[in-house]
Amino acid sequence: MTADAVNEGLAIGHTAIDLEHRATGRDLRGFLHRGRQLRDILLAFGPLGRNHRGLRLPLVGWVVGLAHPGVLPVAAIGVADDLWSGEERGFRAHLGKGASTGVLKLVGIPAFAFWRTRSLSGAVLVGLSANLINQLDTKPGRAVKAYLAASIPLRAPKAIAVLLAPYDLREMAMLGDSGSNALGAMLGFESVGRFTERQRWSAVAALAGLTILGERRSLGALIERTPVFRQVDAWGRQLS
């Protein structure tokens, strides 16, 4: 907030007030406290985005790419979309826009997956997996929960999603396209490694169906209209 005020040219004053401060020393508790302060400063001065309520929050999805270099290019493409995308959403809107970061994402993620898997089915599967988790990232924690649920049968890595979940759910930070696409791509690559060619195309058909459904009707709205999904979706989230 102080940095925003300075950037807007507002005058900054310093006023002494009568408050007590619980000072921390040079012990483990003190170093952890200052470490959390440094973390918050780095997040605040990193890339920022607006969530579904219009709150401006740090974008932390790039951390997924750093934790799992196998999806780092996907996270990087997502960062570009987070920072320079327009208002368009969905395949049709992105393609209708022409040259944009959305089109880069639609082309770049499958292309990278094809290079890694040397397989058309693998490229399509990874691309649709990334897109599906991105489609679900419309409320805090929704994409992370979907990833964790799918990661159990696929035995995909869980640590980074578990670490990011509290920040996402409490609206301290947001995944953005970088995080949701990277998590989805991780599921896709795990599927490619575990599925036969026939199973891959079956998964592609299922994901394509969900993608078409998401293009025609909001997946988030469907979740909120289904009592069981709505209850699970709300776990841990702050009240709006």
Q: Which domain holds residue 66?
A: 25-234
Residue 216 inside a domain? The answer is yes
Task: With respect to residue 63, please indicate whether it lies within any of the assigned structural domains.
Answer: yes
Q: In b/e form, how buried is each residue of 80-90, taking b as 16+ CB within 10 angstroms?
A: bbbeebeebbe
Confidence of residue 88 (pLDDT cuts 50, 70, 90): low
218 pLDDT band, cuts 50/70/90, is confident
pLDDT value, residue 91: 55
Say if residue 144 is exposed, middle or buried (CB neighbours under 10 Å; 0-12, 13-18, 19+). Answer: buried
* DSSP E strand stretches across the chain: 48-50, 56-58
Per-residue confidence at 20, pLDDT binned at 50, 70, 90? confident
pLDDT category of residue 215 using cuts at 50, 70 and 90: confident
Instruction: Flag whether 3 is in a domain.
Output: no
pTM over 0.95, yes/no: no
Distance from chain centroid for Cα 59: 8
Residue 224: burial class (beta carbons within 10 Å; 0-12, 13-18, 19+): middle
- Are the CB atoms for 79 and 178 separated by under 8 Å? yes
**Does any domain span residue 48?**
yes
Q: To 5 degrees, how large is the angle CA 154–CA 72–CA 58?
A: 100
Q: Which among 11-20, 101-110, 149-158 has the top mean pLDDT?
A: 149-158
Domain count, the chain: 1
240 located within any domain: no
Residue whose structure tokens are 């094809």:
114
Highest mean pLDDT among 80-94, 110-124, 214-228: 110-124
238 secondary structure, DSSP code: P
User: Does residue 5 lie within any of the structural domains?
Assistant: no
pLDDT of residue 197: 96
- Between residues 83 and 209, which one has the greater pLDDT? 209
Asked whether residue 89 carries a pLDDT value surpassing 80, the answer given is no
Confidence of residue 220 (pLDDT cuts 50, 70, 90): confident
Residue 17 lies in a domain: no
